[in-house]
Structure 1
Amino acid sequence: MRYRVLGGTGIEVSTYCLGTMMFGAVGNPDHQDSVRIIHAALDQGINFVDTADMYSAGESEEIVGKALRDPRRREETVLATKVFFPFGEGPNRGGTSRRWITRAVENSLRRLGTDWIDLYQVHRPDHRTDIEETLDVLGDLVSQGKIRAFGCSAFPAEQIVEAHAVAERRGLRRFRSEQPPYSLLARGIETSVLPVAQRYGMGVLTWAPLAAGFLTGKYRKGRPVDLTSGRAALAPQRFDPALPVNQAKLDAVEELIAVADDIGATLPELAIAFAAAHPAVTSVILGPRTGEQLEGLLKGASLVLTDEVLDRIDAIVPPGTNLYQPDGVWRPASLTDPALRRRPLGDRAAAD
């Protein structure tokens, strides 16, 4: 296992990070098995574990807490979690306000069974809260010793720049990391997010290296896809081979499999090695549901891609290109909230 420094924090983290989204009700509901998987990852050199308060409504954090109950394991593990998405019913139970973050961090600490969080991340941008408000409370949590550093997730480049400008202008602590989606089929962050992260010396934790399963080798051109089970049953439109966007992914997969075969690697090994190859990337998040999946993902931990291989990949999926929109990636509120694009009826009438 290789290790890199997380941004300018001085914290050394493994090149591969164990993502725990699949531990709990939405993936593996067996707590003991999930704990075994976490321990197996730690025993093989991974020292970086990422979770979030919203994964299985806090259950993932509880499982991670059980796995790190041994003080020695906790001390040796760099623990990351996130805040933003609504947690429960009613107002003021999500977002990045001081009111919610101060409550949410205490809940995460309790579920994780720890006194501190190494990296506390804003899961998505919050257009309802001034970034100054968010940076201010996160800085206070660092001063209080409840978190060691904080970062953002799925922020567009312009909002990363804005956050750093506000931090500098107001004398606040700044985001130390960014967590974007990145894979052989979704390279959009190469355009601006990764260069901006490098410019500000931020660590980068990438997720979805297997492109929602398309880079596992399970889905192949010309083969039928069962749209009634697994991931495909949850979102058939993402896997239906009749759709042009999925046809483009399947075409690229066939060419990428040929590249992997030529270097004696599997497609997943190629995919994970690709994400780790970018100089801006600190760690690649792996999200196994089973121990077998973890073992398969770690087999390629020592794989290093040559310039020739990377050139072949560039010819298949050009740099900065998204063959699909990564699920869960941030979209501007100006596009998702119609009210922000339309004047109130009274104003429109007056303008007429």
Structure 2
Amino acid sequence: MEYRQLGNSGLKVPVLSFGTATFSAGTSEGAWGNTQIDEAKRLVDISLDAGVNFFDSADIYSDGRAEQVLGAAVAGRRDEVLIGTKATFRTSTSADINDVGSSRFHLIRALEGSLRRLGTDYVDVYYLHGFDALTPQEETLSTLDEFVRSGKVRYIGASNFSGWHLMKSLSVSERYGWARHVAHQAHYSLAAREFEWELMPLGIDQGVGTVVWSPLAQGRLTGKIRRGQPVPAGSRLTVGSETEQSGDPETLFRTVDVLDELAAETGKSLAQVALNWVLQRPTVATIVFGARTEEQFRENLGAVGWNLSVEQVARLDAASATTPIYPYWHQRSFSERNPFPTSVPARGEL
């Protein structure tokens, strides 16, 4: 397993991280998945054997039950793993008007709940799951800084922020000498490249590592979605509320065509090729992947230990390219001073 530094921090993480959104706890009500404790323990065993020691969760996954299952699965092995979890959103079980957002009130309650469910006294990376525009950033970031100083949190990060959200947060932290975001967990794949327009250059400039979620675009990049064919039964894409915005169909099909070609050239699956492309992008520290079965898990592991060639990466770049919105298309006309972040990062680099 390859390890990279998480942004401008001293923490090294595996390039593949295991996402626990499908973990549940003996009930399907409000659940995102149905991985139970025994199966979760088995997947954790496989993860650690493969060097995947970073586990991603959130307090809203199955209304906290995902954290509960993860805590049970790593019990007795806390010193072997890194745990990242998130807060900001309201769980469906909470009716308290203040039990949402990134206020001091909510974050303290949320962290205490996560620590209790995880069965630990600290988390390694604590993310804001979304930007709270109603709470002053001084309140949010001073609270997160207190978490770090208390030892309950090792590092902080953001998720789903826009460029100005993240830059404002970093500026406030710098102004007061508080802990700063070292990671941004973001939606990014061959089917959704908007992250490159502003957030990736920001990450390069500010030393913020990218933790990628949905690198396979809900299965769109696995070959399951083809021209003229219906969406497979049981796919998350059949659930309207779970469908991500991931480009136009023709660009997707063109990208899948090139994935087919490269899979044949490399002897890898389409998913492995798509994941390897993401791992070669600037700022990417780790990819969060999910797996409901051991077979899916082991296929994802096949994305590391090799690299697409520069020419193969360029073919995928061209196939998946879309015209950016303003002002990004205009900035590209001044590439002499606004270079597009296309370089492949060296090992251990942002």
Give the structure-1-normalised TM-score: 0.85
Contact 2:88 2:101 in 1 (8 A): yes
Percent identity reads 36
Aligned-partner Cα distance in 2 for 1:238–1:21: 16
Q: Which residue does the alignment assign to 2:163?
A: 157
What is the deviation of 1:237? 9.9
The aligned amino acid for 1:290 is T
The answer to whether 1:229 aligns with 2:215 is: no
What are the within-5 Å matches in structure 2 for residues 298-337 of structure 1?
298-318=301-321
What secondary structure is seen at the aligned counterpart in 1 of 2:17? strand
Distance 1:249 1:238, change over 3 A: farther
Match for 2:145 among 128, 139, 142?
139
Q: Distance in 1 between matches of 2:52 and 2:16?
A: 6
The one of 63, 69, 83 equivalent to 1:57 is 63
In structure 2, the partner of 1:78 is 82
- Counterpart of 1:282? 285
Does the Cα contact within 8 Å between 1:131 and 1:163 map onto a contact in 2? yes
CA distance, structure 2, for counterparts of residue 297 and residue 219 of structure 1: 18
Secondary structure at the aligned position of 1:173 is classed as coil
Q: Which moved more, 1:250-259 or 1:299-308?
A: 250-259
Partner of 1:169: 175
How much does 1:100 deviate? Answer: 0.6
Q: In terms of mean alpha carbon deviation, does 48-57 or 36-45 score higher? A: 36-45
Secondary structure of 2:126's counterpart equals strand
User: Judging changes above 3 Å, is the alpha-carbon distance between structure 1 residues 83 and 206 closer, same or farther for their aligned structure 2 residues?
Assistant: same
Instruction: Please give the alpha-carbon distance, in whole angstroms, between the structure 1 residues aligned to 2:116 and 2:323.
Output: 40
- 2:7 corresponding residue in structure 1: 7
1:79 partner letter: I
Listed one character per residue, the Cα deviations across residues 142-200 of structure 1 (whole Å, up to 9, x for unaligned) are 11110011010011111111111112223322111100111111111111101111211
Q: Using the TM superposition, name which of 175-184 and 248-257 deviates more.
A: 248-257
1:210 to partner: Cα distance: 0.6
Partner of 1:336: none
Between the aligned partners of 1:232 and 1:46, the Cα distance in structure 2 is 28
Does structure 1 retain, via aligned residues, the 8 Å contact 2:251–2:320? Answer: no
1:223 CA displacement: 2.4
State the distance in 2 between where 1:122 and 1:80 align: 11
- Quote the Cα distance in structure 2 between the aligned partners of 1:119 and 1:60: 16
Cα drift, residue 247 of structure 1: 4.2
CA apart distance, 1:204: 1.4
Q: Which of 13-22 and 256-265 deviates more? A: 256-265
The answer for unaligned runs of 5 or more in structure 2 is 25-30, 326-350
Cα gap change, 1:291 to 1:86, in 2 (>3 Å): same
Q: 1:332 aligns to what? A: none
Cα deviation, 1:274-320, whole Å, max 9, x if unaligned, reads 11111310001111122211011112221212211111111101278
Supply the distance in 1 between the matched residues of 2:296 and 2:278 (Cα, whole angstroms): 18
Structure 1 vs Structure 2 CA RMSD: 2.1
In structure 1, give the amino acid aligned to 2:234.
Answer: S
Question: Against the structure 1 CA distance between its residues 237 and 86, is the aligned structure 2 distance closer, same or farther, given a 3 Å change threshold?
Answer: closer
Matched, 1:295 2:301: no
1: CA distance, partners of 2:229 / 2:44: 34
Q: Contact 2:251–2:319 (CA<8 Å) still a contact in 1?
A: no
Aligned length: 316
Match of 1:30 in 2: 36
- Name the larger-Rg structure: 1
Provide closer, same or farther for how the CA distance between residues 17 and 319 of structure 1 changes in structure 2, counting only shifts above 3 A.
farther
